[in-house]
A and B are shown apart, each in its own frame.
Chain A
Amino acid sequence: MKPPPVVYHGPDTVDEAVRLLAEHGGHAKVLAGGQSLVPMLNMRLTAPARLIDVNRLDELAYVRTDLEGVRVGALARHADVERATHAFEAVPLLRQAVQTVAHPTIRNRGTTVGSLVHADPCAEMPAVLLLLDGEVLLRSDRAGERVVKAADFFVGPMESACEEDELAIEAYFPKPRGRTGTDWRELSRRNGDYAMCGVGTSVRVDDTGAVTCAKAAYIGMGPVPSVVDVTGADFSGADFCAAAEHAADQLDPEDDIHASAEYRRHLARVLTARSLKAAYEAVAP
Chain B
Amino acid sequence: MNDKLVGQPLVRKEDPRLLRGDGRYLDDLGRGALAAAFVRSPVAHARIAGIDVDEALDVEGLVAIYTHEDLPGRIAEPLPLLIPHPALTHPRTPYCLANGEVNHVGEAVVMVVATDRYVAEDVAERIRVTYEDLPPVVGIDQARAGERLVHQDAPGNVAAHSVQTNGKGDAHDAIASAPHRLALDLHIERSASMPMEGKGVLAHWDPDDRTLRVHSSTQTSTSVRLAVAAKLELPPDRVEVITPDVGGGFGVKIVHPWPEEILVPWAAMTLGQDVKWVEDRREHFTSSAHERAQRQHVEVGFDAAGRLLGLSVEIWHDNGAYVPYGIIVPIVTSTQLLGPYKVGAYRVEFTSLYTNTVIVTPYRGAGRPQGVFAMERTMDAIAEYLGTDRLAVREANLIQPEEMPYDQGLVFQDGRPLIYDSGDYPTMLRMIRDLVGWDGFEAERAAAAAEGRRIGIGIGAYVEGTGMGPYEGAHVKVETTGEVVVSTGLTTQGQGHYTSLAQIAADVLGVGVGDVTVITGDTRRFKYAVGTFASRAIVTSGNAVAIAAGKVAQKAKRIAAAALGDGISPEDLELVDGRVRRRADPATAIDLRTVAVLSNPLRYAFDEETKAATQFAAATGTGDEPGLEATGYYMPERSTFAAGAHGVVVETDPETADIRILRYCVVHDCGVVVNPRIVEGQVHGGVAQGIGGALYERIVYDDAGQLVNASYMDFLIPFATEVPHIQTAHMVTASGLNPLGLKGAGEAGVIPTSAAVASAIEDAEGLAVRRMPISPSELYELRKAQQARKEQVSA
Chain A residues within CB distance 8 Å of chain B: 1-5, 43-44, 103, 187, 189-194, 196, 257-260, 263, 266-267, 270-271
Contacts and interface: CB of A to CB of B under 8 A. Distances in A.
Given A3-B118, A267-B656, A191 B777 contact: no
A5 B700 contact: no
Interface in B755-780: 775-777, 780
Interface size class of B (residues with CB under 8 A): 20 to 34
Contact of B781 (A2, A191, A260, A267): A260
B407 interface: no
B125 A189 contact: no
Contact of B722 (A2, A3, A191): A191
Given A190-B722, A270-B655, A257 B709 contact: yes
A270 B118 contact: no
A243 to B, nearest CB: 16
Nearest to A194: B713
Interface string B681-706: 00000000000000010101000000
Given A190-B721, A267-B656, A2 B118 contact: yes
Contact of A196 (B280, B696, B700, B777): B777
Contact of B719 (A4, A190, A270): A190
B117 interface: yes
Contacts of A1: 121, 280-282
B176 interface: no
A16 to B, nearest CB: 28
A257 B713 CA distance: 12
Contacts of A270: 655-656
A121 to B, nearest CB: 14
A4 B122 contact: yes
B716 interface: yes
B625 interface: no
A264 B716 CA distance: 18
Contact of A257 (B117, B122, B281, B714): B714
15 contacts: A1-B280, A4-B125, A5-B122, A43-B282, A191-B719, A193-B716, A194-B713, A196-B776, A196-B777, A257-B709, A259-B775, A259-B776, A263-B777, A270-B656, A271-B656
Contacts of B117: 2
A207 B657 CA distance: 37
Nearest to A271: B656
B192 to A, nearest CB: 15
A263 B781 CA distance: 8
B718 interface: yes
A86 B214 CA distance: 59
Nearest to B117: A2
The 5 A-B residue pairs whose C-beta atoms are closest, nearest first, are A191-B721, A1-B280, A259-B777, A263-B777, A2-B118
Contacts of B709: 257
Contacts of A196: 776-777
Contact of B718 (A5, A44, A103, A190): A190
B355 to A, nearest CB: 18
B658 A187 contact: yes
B59 to A, nearest CB: 10
A274 B122 CA distance: 51
A257 B708 CA distance: 9
Interface string B715-736: 0101101100000000000000
Contacts of A2: 117-118, 121
A44 B124 CA distance: 12
A147 to B, nearest CB: 33
Contacts of B698: 257
A156 B718 CA distance: 31
Contacts of A5: 118, 122
Contacts of B777: 196, 258-260, 263
A14 to B, nearest CB: 31
Contacts of B721: 190-192
A187 B777 CA distance: 11
A225 to B, nearest CB: 19
B696 A189 contact: yes
Contacts of B700: 257
Given A257-B700, A263-B781, A187 B722 contact: no
A270 to B, nearest CB: 4
Contact of B775 (A3, A4, A189): A189
A187 B653 CA distance: 11
A267 B658 CA distance: 10
Interface string B114-131: 000110011001000000
Contacts of B722: 190-191
Nearest to B709: A257
A196 B657 CA distance: 13
B719 to A, nearest CB: 6
A157 B117 CA distance: 32
A166 to B, nearest CB: 28
A178 to B, nearest CB: 31
A187 B776 contact: yes
Given A257-B709, A260-B777, A189 B716 contact: yes
A270 B125 CA distance: 47
B160 to A, nearest CB: 30
Nearest to A44: B125
Contacts of A257: 698, 700, 708-709, 714
A47 B698 CA distance: 30
A263 B716 contact: no
Contacts of B775: 189, 258-259
Interface in B395-453: none
Contacts of B781: 260, 263
Nearest to A255: B777
A275 to B, nearest CB: 12
Contacts of A271: 656
Contacts of A258: 714, 716, 775, 777
A43 B713 CA distance: 13
Contacts of B696: 189-190
Contacts of B714: 257-258
A239 to B, nearest CB: 15
B630 to A, nearest CB: 47
B108 to A, nearest CB: 16
Nearest to B695: A189
A271 B282 CA distance: 35
Interface in B650-689: 655-658
Most buried by A among B698, B718, B775: B775
Contacts of B776: 187, 189, 196, 259, 263
Task: Among A2, A4, A43, A103, find the residue whose CB has the most chain B CB atoms closer than 10 A.
Answer: A2
Contacts of A263: 657, 776-777, 780-781
Contacts of A192: 719, 721
B184 to A, nearest CB: 25
B164 to A, nearest CB: 36
A190 B716 contact: yes
A78 B152 CA distance: 55
B51 to A, nearest CB: 20
Given A257-B709, A260-B780, 6 more contacts: A4-B122, A192-B721, A258-B775, A259-B775, A260-B781, A267-B656
A81 to B, nearest CB: 22
Interface in B449-502: none
Nearest to A259: B777
Interface in B121-157: 121-122, 125
Contacts of B708: 257
Contacts of B122: 4-5
A51 to B, nearest CB: 15
B114 to A, nearest CB: 11
